[in-house]
Amino acid sequence: MSAAASAIDARAPRCCANPDPQLAFPDACGPAARWPLVRCRRCSLVYVRDPRSIADLDAAQQNAYGAPTQRFGAVLESAVRAFRAARARLVQRLVPRGARVLDVGCGRGLFLRLLRERGYLVRGTELSEATRKNAYPDVPIDAGELTRASYPAGSFDLISIWHVLEHVRDPHATLDAAHQALAPNGVLLLAVPNFASWQARFGGERWFHLDLPRHLWQFTPTTLRALLEQHGFRVELMRTGQWEMDPFGWVQTALNRAGFRPNALYDTLRSNPADKADLSLPYRLLQLLLFPLLLGPAFALALLARCTGRAGTVIAVARRSP
Does 19 sit near Zn ion (CB under 5 A)? Answer: yes
Cα separation, 126 vs 128, whole angstroms: 6
- Of all residues in this chain, which one has the CB nearest to Zn ion in the complex? 40
Least distance to Zn ion, CB of residue 15, Å:
3
Sites for Zn ion among residues 25-54 (CB under 5 A)? 40, 42-43
Kind and range of the H or E run holding 292: helix 281-307
Helix (H, G, I), strand (E, B) or coil at 113: helix
Residue nearer to Zn ion on the CB measure, 43 or 139:
43
Q: What secondary structure letter does DSSP report for 208?
A: G
Task: Candidates 19-27, 154-162, 262-270, 273-281: pick the segment binding Zn ion (CB under 5 A).
Answer: 19-27
Sites for Zn ion among residues 158-217 (CB under 5 A)? none
Amino acid at 15: C
Least distance to Zn ion, CB of residue 42, Å:
5
Cα separation, 8 vs 105, whole angstroms: 22
Residue nearer to Zn ion on the CB measure, 169 or 284:
169
Q: What secondary structure letter does DSSP report for 274?
A: G
Cα separation, 214 vs 64, whole angstroms: 8
Does 16 sit near Zn ion (CB under 5 A)? Answer: yes
Cis amide leading into 36 (omega within 30): no
Residue nearer to Zn ion on the CB measure, 139 or 224:
224
Q: How far is CA 67 from CA 21, 52, 194, 269, in A?
A: 36, 21, 28, 15
Sites for Zn ion among residues 64-93 (CB under 5 A)? none
Least distance to Zn ion, CB of residue 21, Å:
7
35 close to 28: Cβ distance less than 8 angstroms = yes
Least distance to Zn ion, CB of residue 22, Å:
10
Least distance to Zn ion, CB of residue 164, Å:
21
Residues that bind Zn ion (CB under 5 A): 15-16, 19, 40, 42-43
